[in-house]
Amino acid sequence: MIRHIALYRFRPEALPGQRTAFAHELVAASAATGLVSHLGCGEHLTLPADVAVPESVHSFAAAWDFEDLGSLDAFSRHPAMQRFVAEHAAPIVIGLAIANYEEADLMLPISAHAQAGAAR
C-alpha cells in the first residue's frame, strides 16, 4: 500500500466558504478517480505550540491510500484532480508539502499504542 500525504497552506484571506468548498471538492474529486482505497482529511487543529513554529503550520491535511505507485500516479493525472486543483486549490493554496511512502510493518499495533498512552 502507498500512502500519499499533502499539507496545504491557505491564503490568510481565504473565505470560510472557499475552505469548505475545497474540502468537499477534494473528497468528491478523489472519489471520482476510482483509484483511492482510503482518504482521511481535515482542517488543522491549532495547539499552543503552533505559535512558536508558524512556518511549519498548514491549514489542511489529507492522507490517501493507494494499491500501488501506479495508482497514485494515475490519480495525480486524473481529470477530476486536475479540475480540483485548477478550480479549488489554486485560488486559495499558497503552500503545499507532499510525502509518499510505502506502508511497512514497522508501526506499533494500535492496542500497544493505546496502552502506552493510558500509562502516562
- Mapping DSSP onto H, E and C, the string for 24-77 reads HHHHHHHHHHCCCCEEEEEECCCCHHHHHCHHHCCCEEEEEEECCHHHHHHHHH
Q: In the chain, what are the helix, strand and coil shares in percent, each to the nearest 5?
A: 45, 25, 30
pTM given for the model: 0.84
- pLDDT value at position 103? 83
CATH class, range 2-118: alpha beta
pLDDT tens-digit profile, the chain (120 residues): 999 999 999 999 999 999 999 999 999 999 999 999 999 999 999 999 999 999 999 999 999 999 999 999 999 999 999 999 999 999 999 999 999 999 876 565 666 555 555 555
What is the per-residue pLDDT for 104? 76
Could you tell me the residue ranges of all domains in the chain? 2-118
The three cell numbers locating residue 57: 503550520
